Amino acid sequence: MSYQLAYNYYLYNSKKGYELIRLNQNSLLSNFDKLTQKLVKKILRKNNVRVTDERSFVIAWNLLKENGIIVNF
């Protein structure tokens, strides 16, 4: 039997505390309202970013901050 490393990622919110997240595009988009989702999709598409892992999640997060979208989960 072999063991594989499994990682759990959490974001801290002052209202909810720690919240488990998945590192994919749908989970990122689900934290925004419909109007903001459209803008987020456009920004990610223009910069050729697909959120699939930790690295791409950080890139997407920084792109959103650069474009003035408040990332507050």
pTM, rounded to two decimals: 0.79
- Domain spans of the chain? 23-73
Per-residue pLDDT of the chain (73 residues), as tens digits, is 788 888 899 988 788 889 888 889 998 888 888 999 999 999 999 999 999 999 999 999 999 999 999 877 6
Provide the CB-side half-sphere exposure for 47 (13 A, CA). 18
pLDDT on residue 42: 96
Which DSSP string corresponds to 8-67? -EEEEETTTEEEEE-SSHHHHHTTS-HHHHHHHHHHHHHTT----SHHHHHHHHHHHHHT
Helix (H) or strand (E) segment spanning residue 4: none
pLDDT on residue 73: 66
